[in-house]
Structure 1
């Protein structure tokens, strides 16, 4: 007999305070301890992922001047970051609609882009706006989030199920969006993305409950899955998701510097109601089961070998410990330069720290203690030990948002 239950039954248990809800991290821990709850003992599992998600854009509407001062915007810049004016012309209204890409770089600084800018807007900081109009006028103003009438984040490719890890088998350093700084050759380091067995799409194969119209948390705000993301397919699925920027928590969102300029990271949490044995069985996957191809940093089309997420996460540290007594306050601090989220400036800001590991791997004076691990790879019939030098995903943030979602469901603040 196949075991199953309905959403209505689960919602009734939630209303009665009787639902068994786990985060994916809690559930996987019980599996690894060989103490997994049975189908009857689990109603919902909240899964999360956090990482660089390039296909992120914001749609913004705001007033830049009184009506009648210019016809319509032709070019718009926020702190030097270009945005696309339109599609609505708003003739003579003094307001502007724009689409701002998270990966667009400032005209003044390639490491400052849409991700850093949008985080500053979320934080309530002032932003300088320059509008160049079709009638040759330049309008300058300063705005904050309170001046924005509408702000919607749309992610065209989010919560990827599949990633690729990268190393450099060549001799010369290679710049890439997949490395915070040019990746040195001779297998000197490995960079990777993906939260492994807590990732929503790893726990719902194929999409049994994660589908169009489903409510999710995007950077702490309630949002919706719009459908499959761009370049999504059965083997490598991802999602298109949208939510209100003004309701997001900036902790879960931000810019991420790479050796090819600024990128953007997001955090997504999705509930999986355990409606059937099939859905339950999918949740039993662990990091050891989640394979990860390793490729040449010059391209995903150049595979080298394969590993799994257990080898990359294990019990490695999620955050560095900073010893200010070892810090020499270098005039040219390499950590300030290589930190992808600008979390270090004569001291570490853990609210901005991504746990990537760059500080611990590159500080000249060992002021940062963090075990990011290494991985043994078999390449061309020989074993190569490669240190993990940069993570482009953050399990700590992913777990926090999954826990936040669990609490919201229990408190009936988030309806399945």
Structure 2
């Protein structure tokens, strides 16, 4: 019906018809798939949720005299410095070792007591918000880089590059966590109360970007996206990418499946859409708003995007079993999860989402506005995301390798 070029032409002329996923699903109910496909040019999807496999690349710029950084802390949070003289990678879940750089021993340092309430995600969010961040670095002294240490403050304006590179974002479906044990558990889904006291799910279900393009026919390497309030791109398949997950008849996976690696200029991002967060007794993370445009190239696109919460399922997993493979209490639809209660073994269990449904809708609305005003155009991806990748657990090999 349409091509990317035709849709972009309409976007640039501010004639494109864009709807959010919620609006598209309602329109399909009113007029059917065929008519909706004729009316709509592009569908704006969005999510806002913790994405812990995220981080920032920062190039500080060279000092005088130059330094080759060996160890570095940004506001007390260690940054990885093993791939360039003044290149750093700050992971979202890296835990602060010191309250501030002023308390770091100089020039040699030893790890502090750790401050789990603050980490890399908070520093990234502070930089995006325009705050000045104290930095201390120790050098590996060479003829090229004779400087032994460096202490200063940085902002997003005073560094050469500051961009997010997130190895795993946008899970295509996920699990529901519960705790069948007798003590509270503190997890990446948040606290799970004992004796099935609560359940937490992560995905937004029918609003989730990748569940509306189940075989990633519209999304690939080079796809332009909304990332943290700025332009971003799909860089690669994400880590733990597992598209071979079992699927329902509607092609949607029954558990964690495809993932994407994303990249974007953090200097242009908004503090509204990038926020540091902390999970009690688990650690810091980063909440990010991500929006993915789905071009309506044919009726099949609209048919896939009309999927409802009742048509999507997720497994309920018992975190009280400390193993990689945990028992499950069955599959539950997102309609059941979003009702606020599910029944597990005859017990009514209250349910809450980890992702913000409201803010996910707001991401989609902002992307829709970009599309309608010509601020955002679509890209043809340069290569597809592989859909035949299997998941390889580490313990598959570990027992076969003798230790010397």
State the TM bucket, normalised to the shorter chain: 0.7 to 0.9
**In structure 1, which of residues 106, 120, 129 is the aligned counterpart of residue 135 of structure 2?**
129
In structure 2, the residue corresponding to 1:385 is in which secondary structure? strand
User: CA shift at 1:227, angstroms?
Assistant: 2.0
Once the two structures are TM-superposed, the CA of residue 188 in structure 1 deviates from its matched residue by 0.9
Match of residue 287 from structure 2: 265
Which deviates the most, 193-202 or 18-27? 18-27
Please give the alpha-carbon distance, in whole angstroms, between the structure 2 residues aligned to 1:384 and 1:33.
38
Question: In the alignment, is the contact (CA less than 8 A) between 2:55 and 2:121 conserved in 1?
Answer: no
In structure 2, what is the Cα distance between the partners aligned to 1:29 and 1:383? 34
Matched, 1:144 2:155: yes
Unaligned ranges ≥5, structure 2: 99-114, 142-146, 246-256, 379-404
Higher relative contact order (CA 8 A, sep 6+): 2
Q: What displacement does 1:34 show?
A: 7.1
Instruction: Give the Cα separation in 1 of the matches to 2:75 and 2:297.
Output: 48
Contact kept, 8 Å, 2:48 with 2:357, in 1: the verdict is yes
> Is the CA contact 1:204–1:282 (under 8 Å) kept in the aligned structure 2?
yes
* Shift of residue 31, structure 1, vs aligned partner: 4.3
- Corresponding position of 2:390: none
Q: Secondary structure of 2:2's partner?
A: coil
Instruction: Show the counterpart of 1:51.
Output: 49
**Cα distance between partner residues in 1 of 2:137 and 2:225:** 35
Cα distance in 2, alignment partners of residues 81 and 304 from structure 1: 39
TM-score (norm 2): 0.79
SS in 1 for 2:80: strand
CA contact (8 A) 2:202 2:354 kept: yes
- For residues 23-59 of structure 1, the C-alpha deviation after alignment (integer angstroms, 9 at most, x for no partner) is 1122223445677652211111111112111110110
Normalising by structure 1, we get a TM-score of 0.77
| 1:107 and 2:101 are equivalent in the alignment | no
Q: Which whole-Å CA distance do the structure 2 matches of 1:15 and 1:128 have between them?
A: 42
Query: What is the deviation of 1:11?
Result: 2.6
Aligned to 1:397: 359
Quote the offset at 1:62 in angstroms: 1.3
Per-residue deviation, 1:21: 1.1
- Please tell me whether the aligned partners of residues 168 and 297 of structure 1 are also in contact (alpha carbons under 8 angstroms): yes
Return closer, same or farther for 1:376/1:71 CA change in 2, 3 Å cut-off.
Answer: closer
Q: 2:229 aligns with which of 216, 220, 235?
A: 220
User: Which residue does 1:376 correspond to in 2?
Assistant: 342
Q: Tell me which residue corresponds to 1:385.
A: 348
Would you identify which runs of 4 or more consecutive aligned residues in structure 1 move more than 4 Å? 31-37
Q: List runs of 5+ in structure 1 lacking aligned partners.
A: 90-95, 315-373
Aligned pairs for 1:149-164 within 5 A:
149-164=160-175
Distance in 1 separating the partners of 2:156 and 2:87: 15
Q: Tell whether 2:181 aligns with 1:185.
A: no
* Match among 172, 176, 196 for residue 165 of structure 1: 176
Q: Secondary structure at the match of 2:6?
A: helix
The answer to whether the 8 A contact 2:14-2:374 is kept is no
Cα RMSD, aligned residues only: 2.0
* CA–CA separation in structure 2 for the residues paired with 1:267 and 1:212: 19
**1:313–1:35 Cα change, 3 Å:** farther
